[in-house]
């Protein structure tokens, strides 16, 4: 790497993109589904999934046992994503104000989400995880994901994904960019957040893959429209160099180790019934917290609120059973939530209070019934 690197904010600018390739939300959803990309509704004017029904917001409720999905409702975000054109007509025909989200995993997509929020860079060890940047290297002006991804591409002697005209690129209202690729080889790539201290490709560069969703081109939010850049409408196969970088930075699951899953109520009861004292309880706490911790690997689309709510509900049951003090439960939950979603402490505290209060009414003891 050159010892003299300078950047300007103009590096992230491109010619103004044309308007949506599909136009209205219904047409956009149909267009995506025809390409094999399962779609789900987004709340009007927002980047988040349409709200769950009242029953699906109850503490302890999960998508795995929900009857809303087979009944054709959109609860649980990207878990409800569909290719069914009749269901798409039902959802967006009745609610044209909905935006369109695409479930990346089932669609076989890996999307590089480049942020353009000018900010002070973190320590040099976090700009390009796993790649040392010596102190004598001048990083004056480095402020966005366009810059960090450009540096990574330059080191590898390739074109930055932001400038890859061979694949679908979408300009975001904030000035960032989504670069869409197909997994190609069927590997289940993981999501990540560029601000994470764990898995990350580059600072201010997120990865959307299994366990996440991406906003479809043509979707309008209160901040603006997601617009296609250039003439390419289809994602290209993930470039080999980029696949190698994703593998290097931990975006593939370890061999024979399943991805974290919420602990079903019956499994919780089985652990408690088995006894084993504090060690057994600690193992259970780790399992219950795993879905919350996993949300730290993706900036959105991971179901953080639901995961934290379920964890707090279970912790409340443990407190009510005398296996954990309420102070311990609150501290552990707050620390885990803060690590997964820094800057959202107030929201997390509200979810924790609500989940704990509900769980306290149902002690998790060996004699309990799920």
Give the tens place of pLDDT for each residue, 305-320: 878 888 888 898 888 8
**If you average pLDDT over every residue of the chain, what do you get?**
81
My answer on whether 66 and 170 are in the same domain is yes
My answer on whether 288 and 167 are in the same domain is no
Task: Say if 369 falls within a structural domain.
Answer: no
Check pLDDT > 90 for residue 2: no
My answer on whether 106 and 205 are in the same domain is yes
More confident residue, 348 or 171: 171
Task: Say if 367 falls within a structural domain.
Answer: no
For tokens 């904030």, what's the residue? 174
Query: What pLDDT does residue 317 have?
Result: 87
My answer on whether 23 and 156 are in the same domain is yes
Beta strands in the chain (DSSP E): 39-42, 99-103, 109-114, 169-171, 177-182, 205-208, 213-215, 220-221, 224-225, 227-229, 236-237
More confident residue, 112 or 70: 112
Least confident of 80-94, 156-170, 178-192, 333-347: 333-347
Highest averaged pLDDT of the listed ranges 222-236, 284-298, 338-352? 222-236
My answer on whether 285 and 244 are in the same domain is no
pLDDT tens-digit readout, 81-117: 999 999 999 999 989 999 999 999 999 999 999 999 8
Task: Say if 370 falls within a structural domain.
Answer: no
Task: Say if 365 falls within a structural domain.
Answer: no
My answer on whether 40 and 111 are in the same domain is yes
Check pLDDT > 50 for residue 10: no
Q: Name the DSSP class of 192.
A: B
What range defines the domain where residue 201 resides?
1-256
Instruction: Name the nearest CA neighbour of 29 among 97, 79, 75, 76.
Output: 97
Query: What pLDDT does residue 245 have?
Result: 95
Cα angle: 204, vertex 206, 212; to 5 degrees = 155
Average pLDDT over residues 244-273: 59
Coil, helix or strand at residue 122: coil
Phi, psi of 229 (to 5 degrees): -105, 125
Average pLDDT over residues 261-275: 42
My answer on whether 172 and 308 are in the same domain is no
My answer on whether 66 and 141 are in the same domain is yes
The answer to whether 193 and 296 are in contact (CB under 8 A) is yes
Which of 226, 256, 286 terminates a domain? The answer is: 256
Specify the pairing of strand 236-237 against strand 177-182: parallel
Task: Say if 224 falls within a structural domain.
Answer: yes
Which of 256, 286, 316 terminates a domain? The answer is: 256
Which of 208, 224, 256 terminates a domain? The answer is: 256
Phi, psi of 220 (to 5 degrees): -110, 130
My answer on whether 8 and 152 are in the same domain is yes
Average pLDDT over residues 47-62: 80
Tally of domains within the chain: 2
């Amino acid at each position: 790497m050159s010892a003299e690197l300078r950047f300007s904010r103009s590096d992230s600018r491109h010619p103004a993109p044309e308007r949506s390739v599909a136009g209205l939300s219904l047409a956009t959803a149909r267009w995506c589904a025809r390409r094999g990309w399962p779609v789900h509704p987004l709340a009007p004017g927002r980047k988040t999934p349409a709200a769950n029904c009242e029953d699906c917001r109850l503490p302890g409720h999960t998508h795995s046992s929900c009857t809303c999905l087979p009944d054709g409702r959109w609860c649980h975000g990207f878990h409800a994503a569909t290719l069914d054109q009749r269901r798409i007509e039902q959802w967006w025909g009745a609610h044209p104000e909905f935006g369109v989200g695409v479930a990346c995993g089932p669609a076989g997509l890996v999307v590089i989400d480049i942020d353009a929020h000018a900010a002070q860079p973190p320590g040099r060890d976090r700009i390009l995880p796993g790649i040392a940047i010596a102190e004598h290297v001048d990083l004056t002006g480095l402020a966005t994901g366009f810059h960090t991804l450009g540096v990574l591409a330059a080191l590898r002697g390739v074109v930055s994904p932001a400038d890859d005209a061979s694949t679908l690129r979408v300009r975001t209202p904030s000035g960032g960019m989504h670069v869409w690729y197909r997994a190609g080889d069927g590997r289940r790539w993981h999501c990540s957040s560029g601000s994470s201290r764990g898995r990350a490709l580059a600072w201010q560069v997120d990865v959307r893959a299994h366990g996440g969703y991406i906003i479809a081109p043509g979707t309008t939010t209160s901040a603006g429209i997601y617009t296609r850049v250039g003439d390419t409408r289809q994602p290209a196969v993930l470039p080999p160099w980029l696949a190698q970088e994703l593998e290097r930075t931990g975006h593939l699951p370890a061999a024979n180790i399943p991805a974290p899953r919420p602990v079903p109520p019956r499994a919780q009861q089985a652990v408690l019934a088995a006894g084993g004292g504090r060690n057994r309880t600690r193992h259970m706490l780790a399992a219950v917290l795993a879905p919350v911790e996993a949300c730290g690997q993706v900036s959105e689309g991971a179901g953080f609120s639901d995961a934290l709510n379920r964890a707090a509900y279970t912790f409340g049951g443990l407190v009510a059973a005398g296996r954990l003090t309420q102070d311990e439960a609150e501290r552990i939950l707050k620390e885990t939530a803060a690590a997964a979603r820094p800057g959202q402490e107030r929201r997390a505290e509200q979810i924790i209070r609500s989940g704990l209060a509900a769980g306290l009414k149902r002690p998790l003891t060996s004699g309990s019934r799920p």
